[in-house]
Amino acid sequence: MQFALTALIGMAAGYWLDQHRYLPSPIGVLGGLFTGAVAGMYLLVRSLK
């Protein structure tokens, strides 16, 4: 759940950056999704310890 949530937040952040033209179109969204997924995995692994 936390994994999906952080991935969505990352994708939303990437989309927002794309709307304001800080990053080129698919890179912002995909980069945000990837970063959110990595952050979610990190938080998940940390919470399981």
CB 44 within 8 A of CB 2: yes
Residue-wise pLDDT for 19-34, tens only, equals 666 555 676 667 777 7
Residue 31's SS3 state is helix
Three-point CA angle 28, 29, 34, nearest 5°: 100
Which pTM was predicted?
0.53
Between CA 5 and CA 44 the distance in angstroms is 11
pLDDT of residue 30: 72
